[in-house]
Amino acid sequence: MTKAMARHILVKTEAQAAALKKRIAGGEAFDILARKYSTCPSGKKGGDLGEVRPGQMVRVIDQVIFKKPLRDVHGPIKSQFGYHLVQVFFRD
């Protein structure tokens, strides 16, 4: 069974997601920014989504988690919930 460990930040606007991505690239901690800005309940855990299996997340996020390179911060990715930044730690 395929599974992955990932974290994300969910915000309302593409501009906010892009600004947060720049801050992460500049060395700010993903988990601290997730706690401060993410509108998803996972924000309280630094954006940690825990163990994710295919089909658990909305399709656009699922595709990032199971197809994009590990450790990179991907996004902004638009879904019906807003704009996401996604980082995947491992998958097997």
Residue 69 corresponds to which amino acid?
Answer: P
What is the pTM for the complete model shown?
A: 0.94
List b or e across 27-60, with b for residues whose CB sees 16 or more CB atoms inside 10 angstroms: eeebbebbbebbebebbeebbbbeebeeeebeee
Q: Delineate the domains of the chain, giving CATH numbers in brackets.
A: 4-91 (3.10.50.40)
pLDDT beneath 50: ranges in the chain: none
Within its chain, how far is the Cα of 67 from the centroid?
14
Read off the pLDDT of residues 48-68 as tens digits, 9 standing for 90 and up.
999 999 999 999 999 999 999
Cα distances (Å, whole numbers) of residue 57 to 26, 35, 60, 75 = 28, 20, 8, 15
Helices vs strands, H then E, count in the chain = 3, 4
Q: Give the mean pLDDT of the chain.
A: 96
